[in-house]
Amino acid sequence: MALQPVVLCGGAGTRLWPLSTQARPKQFIPLVGRRTLYQQTLLRLRGLRGVNAPIIVCNRRHRALALDQARDVGVRPCLVALEPMGRNTAPALTLAALLSDPDDSLLVMPADHVIKDTKAFQRAVKVGASLAASGHLVTFGIVPTGPNTGYGYILKGKPLSKDTDDALNLSSFVEKPDLPTAESYVNSGKYLWNSGIFFMASSTWLAEIQRHRPDILAACRQAVDNGRRRAALFRPHEPAFSACPSDSIDYAVMEKAPKCNGAPCAVVPLDVGWSDLGSWQAVWEARDKDTNGNAVEGDVVLEGVKDSLVLNRGGGRVALVGLEGVVVIETEESSLVAGMERAQEVRKVAERARKGRK
């Protein structure tokens, strides 16, 4: 059973406007380090044994970005599936499963995450590979660093083996909580953050999506059966794929799996310096900072500024005086100034900017 990486590149990243745009969403932008998040995801696989070249699932408008950035880090995908429109992660994974060998184990990775400890991640992948080979649906749960209301949570069950706690039964998924609830989760030590990284045999996923969302499987199967492949590029049949319901891996299958009679669901804890970079505050937290807590890039002058993120990728100079806890993002086309505590609201102005509204 070969390990088949599946890299999902469909996110829009609207909360990281104005750097992240529809033409170049956050996975294709360097935000932490000089490589893009997509490139970092591909490079994370180096050193693992028995790994196939990755399957990439992305929007067709990002074909050149996906191919060029993979080539720049010496990776040649075995297949790039070009979605004509976004239908969330469950259809994307179903496409990949239908296009892969049914005996392969699928390591499903979003392309827009940061993982600082690659060796620890690879050790967890080896644990997940063994579980996937035995028929488990596997998710990876992040050891929380503090209460966070932006993530879903996983309630841990008992260890799968009495000799190690590297893998646990997955008791249940929990929706994003309010702050007091998140604090109680973290203090209890019973919960992990839901990372959105999964591992399962291709045949296991197809059996579970058939069990829970046969409408998604039927639409994706039709899109694959009537699609077109040329070299490493696969184009699903657009009318069939456009008719596919939109749903996430979590909602479509994983949240139902612990309660069903299908393949058991397991969670592998990850303590790897993970972030999904879901806001500018998360980017600030993930970047190196100066002695005043500022993360700065480009032509920037600061005076009396603390705990701020200032990224200047425009043509001029940016100067700040006497501010604390702010986000300033400068590009050639747009500028953003926001309070750090309200960074999650950027998607609202991003949508208005996209539609040309004031």
Q: Tens of pLDDT along 284-296?
A: 999 999 999 999 9
Q: Are residues 14 and 94 in the same domain?
A: yes
Q: Is 125 exposed, middle or buried (0-12, 13-18, 19+ CB in 10 A)?
A: buried
Indicate the SS3 state at residue 322: coil
- pLDDT mean over 245-269: 82
Looking up residue 227, the CATH number of its domain turns out to be 3.90.550.10
Q: Supply the pLDDT for residue 69.
A: 98
DSSP H helical segments within the chain, as ranges?
Answer: 37-43, 63-72, 89-99, 118-133, 179-188, 202-212, 214-225, 238-242, 249, 280-286, 346-354
306 and 258 co-located in one domain: no
Residue 209 has pLDDT above 60, yes or no: yes
0.85 surpassed by pTM? yes
Do 195 and 309 fall into the same domain?
A: no
Residue 346 in tokens? 């950027």
Work out the angle between the directed axes of helices 202-212 and 214-225 (0-180°, nearest 10).
120
Provide the token pair at 75.
């990776």
Q: Does residue 261 carry a pLDDT above 60?
A: no
User: Is the confidence at residue 166, as pLDDT, over 70?
Assistant: yes
Taking a C-beta distance cutoff of 8 angstroms, is the pair 211, 140 a contact?
A: no
Is the same domain home to 158 and 72?
yes
Judge whether residue 260 has pLDDT over 60: no
| 318 shares a domain with 348 | yes
pLDDT number for residue 315: 87
- pLDDT for residue 358: 56
Report the pLDDT value the prediction gives residue 259, as an integer from 0 to 100. 58
Q: Are residues 313 and 199 in the same domain?
A: no
Residue 227: predicted pLDDT:
98
Number of domains the chain contains: 2
Pair (45, 85) in one structural domain: yes
pLDDT band, very low/low/confident/very high, at 162 (cuts 50, 70, 90): confident
Return the DSSP state at 51. Answer: B
Among 275, 290, 325, which residue terminates a domain?
Answer: 275
Please say which residue of 246, 275, 304 terminates a domain: 275
**Are 264 and 139 spatial neighbours (Cβ–Cβ below 8 Å)?**
no
The confidence score (pLDDT) of residue 140 equals 97
Whether pLDDT at 201 is above 70 = yes
- What does the pLDDT read at residue 202? 96
Residue 357, C-beta contacts closer than 8 angstroms, at least 6 positions apart: none
How far from the centroid of its chain's Cα atoms is residue 126's Cα? 20
- The pLDDT score that the predictor gives to residue 128 is 94
Query: Residue 258 above 70 pLDDT?
Result: no
Q: What is the pLDDT of residue 295?
A: 98
What confidence tens digit (pLDDT) does each residue in 178-196 have?
999 999 999 999 999 999 9
Under 8 Å between Cβ of 267 and 132: no
pLDDT of residue 307: 98
pLDDT > 90? residue 13: no
- Which tokens is 208 given? 């579970």
Taking the C-alpha atoms of residue 23 and residue 124, their distance in angstroms, rounded to an integer, is: 34
Of the given ranges (7-21, 34-48, 69-83, 162-176), which has the lowest mean pLDDT? 162-176
Query: Considering 275, 294, 318, which residue would you say is the last residue of a domain?
Result: 275
* pLDDT over threshold 90, residue 66: yes
CA distance 181 to 170: 19
One-letter amino acid of 180: P
Residues 49, 153, single domain; the answer is yes
Q: What's the chain's average pLDDT?
A: 93
User: Residue 263 pLDDT > 90, yes or no?
Assistant: no
Q: Which domain holds residue 156?
A: 3-275
Same-domain pairing of 242 and 125: yes
Q: What is the pLDDT of residue 357?
A: 61
Separation between Cα atoms, residue 35 and residue 33, nearest integer Å: 6
Distance, CA of 154 to CA of 171 (rounded, Å): 7
Q: Give residue 262's pLDDT band: very low, low, confident or very high (50, 70, 90).
A: low
CB atoms within 10 A of CB 22: 14
- Whether pLDDT at 331 is above 60: yes
CA-to-CA separations, 104 to 93, 221, 264, 296, 330, in angstroms, rounded:
13, 18, 18, 43, 44
Same-domain check for residues 270 and 347: no
132 in the same domain as 188: yes
Q: Are 265 and 300 in the same domain?
A: no
Give pLDDT tens digits for 273-318.
Answer: 999 999 999 999 999 999 999 999 999 999 999 999 999 999 899 9
Q: Is 274 helix (H, G, I), strand (E, B) or coil?
A: strand
Confidence band for 161, pLDDT divided at 50, 70 and 90: confident
